[in-house]
Amino acid sequence: METEVLPETIYDVPTPAFLVDLERTKKNCSRMRERCWKLGVELRPHQKTHKTVEGGDLQTDGTRRKIVVSTLEEADFFSKNGFDDILYAYPITASKIQKCKEISAKCEQFHLMYDNLESLKALQNSPPGNGRAWSVFLEVDIGGDRTGIPWDDDRIISFAREAVNLSNIDFQGLYSHDGNSYSCTQGKNNKQGALEEWGQTASSRIVETQRRLKEHGIECRTFGVGSTPTCSVPDGSLSSLTEFHPGNYIFYDYMQYLIGSCEESDIACRVATRVVCHKEEQNRMYIDCGFLGVSHDGLYNGPEQSGMAKFIGHDELKFIGMTQELGFVSTNDGSKLDYQKYPLDSMLFFYPWHSCATAANHSVYYIHSGDKIVGKWRPTRGW
């Protein structure tokens, strides 16, 4: 239990600070659960965005069952905190198996992901113990610059068959991310149609892969898709999958808003920062959030007009650069900054470009309900 005194409101936090809007977070979580329920797919939420027990509780509706993680540290942290049915969705290689055994010993269900035969054989030769087999998902690349075997590659059949045939291995099915959906950031304010089109492509590729395996006598118990854009604005065809495993949707962010995954009013995290310097000769001001408070993510990807962050209530401001502890802010249209509107030490809030990258820079999240600070969450980190 957190016994230290909390700041009273969001205007009292030390800056820079990562703030989480509790109502928006809960709403994002319940909306995704309802969506999955309606589509008839299971939800296995990814923990990599928030890495907290509290966030995992909201995503799993308190069951602490059926999650995805991206690091062994996350797997360890969540298993220690009573979470189970954990999928470590990362290409497994031999050097990580020992740590996997330790985690597996603490879980009823711990699943791994593979995309090559070498790792599969290493798993066969190093079973988890207690007579159990390794539960494995084959990673399928359905586009988007990730790991995995391309969905239309014949190795899908042989790699799945190998998992079915090898001892100490229990073949679960297919895992895919659908990174393609992120390419919608290339155009600003994409319409939902584009996301639904990606979703349709994703589902058809996964279903086709699963069908081909079935033709070869290999049953996939699970075959799902993971990206937040795809799962937030799903095409109806996604109901033919068994599982969604998005993560970012717990907070969303400015990038997701531009992709079209959410409304601005759904973004559940923001950074609080204060003005520390007026620099009239540069038509700039400096804020106390540099790259250690927000990360560089989006600095070079963001649309020209708005930079890498959306200042709340200040559409005229642009985040133009940073050093370790300073952010540089100017105007979007090159007009003169009206410094009277941003007094020294006054607070600004912005939605970060990529909440996963920004959250990871903070050892504390300040949780607020309205303006009131109601708690702190402490994420795990490392590998």
Residues that bind a second copy (CB under 8 A): 14-17, 48, 70-72, 90-91, 93-95, 99, 115-116, 118-119, 145-148, 150, 153, 179, 274-279, 281-282, 286, 288, 291-293, 295-297, 299-300, 321, 323-326, 328, 344-345, 356-357, 360-364, 381-383
Closest CA to 244 of 149, 178, 156, 160: 178
Q: Which is nearer to a second copy, 143 or 196 (CB)?
A: 143
Q: Strands, E, within 130-168: which ranges?
A: 134-141, 149-150
Q: Indicate the residue among 41 and 140 with the shorter CB distance to a second copy.
A: 140
Dihedral pair phi/psi, residue 122, rounded to 5°: -65, -35
Residue 84 bridge partners (DSSP): 65
Locate 288 and state its tokens.
């106390």
Nearer to a second copy, 95 or 167 (CB): 95
Residue number, 4 or 215, with CB nearest to a second copy: 4
Q: How far is the CB of 123 from a second copy (least distance, A)?
A: 13
Shortest spacing between CB 6 and a second copy, in angstroms: 16
Query: If 0-12 CB within 10 Å is exposed, 13-18 middle and 19+ buried, where does residue 21 land?
Result: buried
Which C-beta is closer to a second copy: that of 286 or that of 351? 286
Query: Facing residues of 327 across strands?
Result: 287, 322
- Yes or no: say if 202 and 184 are a contact pair by the CB < 8 Å rule: no
Q: Which residue's CB is nearer to a second copy, number 237 or number 339?
A: 339
The secondary element (H helix, E strand) that includes residue 37 is: helix 22-39
Give the Cα separation of 301 and 289 in Å (integer). Answer: 19
Residue placing its CB nearer to a second copy in the complex, 119 or 185: 119
Q: How many CA atoms lie within 13 A of 302 on its CB side?
A: 24
Minimum CB distance to a second copy, residue 131 (Å):
27
Neighbour count for residue 189 (Cβ, 10 Å): 10
Residue 168: how many other CB atoms lie within 10 Å? 15
Smallest gap from residue 91 Cβ to a second copy (A)? 4
Q: Distance (Å, rounded) from C-alpha 144 to C-alpha 177?
A: 8
Contact between residue 243 and residue 12 where contact means Cβ atoms under 8 Å apart: no
Nearer to a second copy, 72 or 207 (CB): 72
CB 93 → a second copy: shortest distance, Å? 4
For residue 118, the minimal CB distance to a second copy (Å) is 5
Tell me how far, at minimum, the Cβ of 162 lies from a second copy, in Å. Answer: 15
Token digits of residue 15: 């800056």
CA distance 168 to 262: 42
CB of 140 to a second copy, least distance (A): 13
Q: Is the backbone peptide bond immediately before 16 cis, with ω within 30 degrees of 0?
A: yes
Q: Greatest CA separation found in the chain?
A: 71
The helix or strand, by DSSP H or E, that contains position 317, with its residue range, turns out to be strand 317-322
| CB nearer to a second copy: pick between 236 and 343 | 343
Burial pattern 329-343, b for ≥16 Cβ within 10 A else e, equals: bbbbeeeebeeeebe
196 or 295: CB nearest a second copy: 295
Smallest gap from Cβ 363 to a second copy, in A, equals 5
> In whole angstroms, how close is the CB of 124 to a second copy at the nearest point?
15
DSSP letters for 341-359: GS-TT-EEEEEES-HHHHH
